[in-house]
Amino acid sequence: MDPIDENLLIPAEDGDTIEIGNLTFNVHYTPGHAIHHNAYQLGNSIFTGDVAGVHIKHGPVQPPCPPPDIDVGLWKLSIRKLKNLNPQVLYLTHYGIVANPQEHLNKLEKELDDWANWMKPHYDKGTDADKIIPEFMAYTKQKLLDAGVSEDDVSRYEKANPSWMSVSGLLRYWKLKEQGRI
């Protein structure tokens, strides 16, 4: 893969607008999932990237928490920022359109807290990630099954948002938080 010429790249910052043809996108800095994350608003629609989670078909929303930049506090501020924009629709990277943004974002925030709080005692005990991974995978799978997600779609969720990656991301979050670095 050839790199893009740096002269063709334009950094986007919070509050910027980007014009493409006759469309104007508003840039919203939304860290938490990743420190470099932006969401892009077009009218009453927001293209969220991963800050609005993973959602397959009509299943529940999950927070993708891979390392290295997970910061639950910043993520929750970004969720509130999106909610305050009062969008009519969200376009998720994984997957599709969300027609009930407020409810979706409320559920995402709740699930983000749930995952982070599930991980905290494992971090406190110094449990090795390799031991936590199968337990967390079983936990997230059972939550999906309890929500009525089919076995096939549970597999799709795991491919779209591998829970083993979230173990490392959330352990790193708790470590940085303990060290006062976030």
**How high is the pLDDT of residue 42?**
98
Residue type, 182: I
- pTM of this prediction? 0.94
Cα dihedral angle (172, 113, 138, 153), rounded to 10 degrees? Answer: -110
- pLDDT per position as a tens digit, 133-160: 999 999 999 999 999 999 999 999 999 9
- Determine how β-strand 61-62 pairs with β-strand 45-55: antiparallel
CATH fold of the domain at 6-178:
Metallo-beta-lactamase; Chain A (3.60.15)
Residue 14, pLDDT > 90, answer yes
Of 84, 61, 68, residue with least CA distance to 32: 68
Residue 96, pLDDT > 90, answer no
Residue type, 74: L
CA distances from 137 to 9, 34, 83, 126 (A): 38, 22, 29, 18
Beta bridge partners of 83: none
Find tokens 């104007």 and name the residue: 24
- pLDDT per position as a tens digit, 121-130: 999 999 999 9
Mean pLDDT, residues 101-114: 98
